Amino acid sequence: MTDAASPKRLTGRAKFAVDFAPLLVFMAAYFFGRRLVGLAGDMAGAEWCLREGAEMYLAVAAFMPAFALAFAYSVWKEKRIAPMLLVSGVIIGVLGTLTLVLQNKTFFYMKPTIVYLLFGGTLFAGLMTQRNFLKIVFDGALHLPDGVWRTLTTRYAIFFMSLAILNEIAWRWLTKDCPPEPALAANAGAWGWLLGECGVETVRCAGEGDWVKLKAFGFTILSLVFTATQAPLIAKNMSDEPGGDG
């Protein structure tokens, strides 16, 4: 019997929009930022050009409000705050703000590392204290024996920790040859962190772009593949009612 008081969950297009729309905004701002800034300048009747090396700052500045809208929509529709979405939101808000205020991309490069370490560490801590946080996150969507939950939790904890290590290796290796960013001019103005002189030849750091692709596509594909590998274990042990033996 379905519990009428159970929270409404996002599915289909709504779930896809919450999970991936902010990421698509980030990608569009990063890879098409120069064109978008130029187009915005044309609409304003001015000549605007993106500052050398500022693609990441534009992408972060676009990503943060997009994520905030997705988060607000999720809360409004589900009438609850999804724990993983809340944790991600706090980390994105803190590290994104530090990235823009201090003009230091390292904070955002390390965002996936911190998120994965926090998720993995929380799962491991739960196992040590006899609390299964993965089961809590699924909130009754799956009914599995406690032993299976412990197995899944261990696997996901190790997987998250592995992704954290992978991200640290990836961003440090891919950006090691990136040229240093030019210092902001003293009279750069309020938009000096984003806009620069037009007609200046700029070289985009290819390694940074590769890291963005890895963050957007690589980690997503790895997560989907890993989740798919857990399907046989879940299907074998899943029951229709809480507390079932599988």
Report DSSP letters for 80-112, one per residue: S--HHHHHHHHHHHHHHHHHHHHT-THHHHTHH
Whole-structure pTM value: 0.85
Residue 24 is predicted with a pLDDT of: 94
Residue 203 is predicted with a pLDDT of: 63
- Block means of pLDDT (10 residues each) for the chain, 246 residues, are 55 83 95 93 90 92 96 88 86 95 94 95 92 77 84 95 97 89 68 81 79 94 95 83 49
User: What is the percent of the chain with per-residue pLDDT over 70, rounded to a whole number?
Assistant: 87
Exposed, middle or buried, 144 (CB in 10 Å: 0-12/13-18/19+)? buried
CB-CB contact of 196 with 50 (8 Å): yes
User: What is the percent of the chain with per-residue pLDDT over 90, rounded to a whole number?
Assistant: 55
Tokens 């999720």 appear where?
74
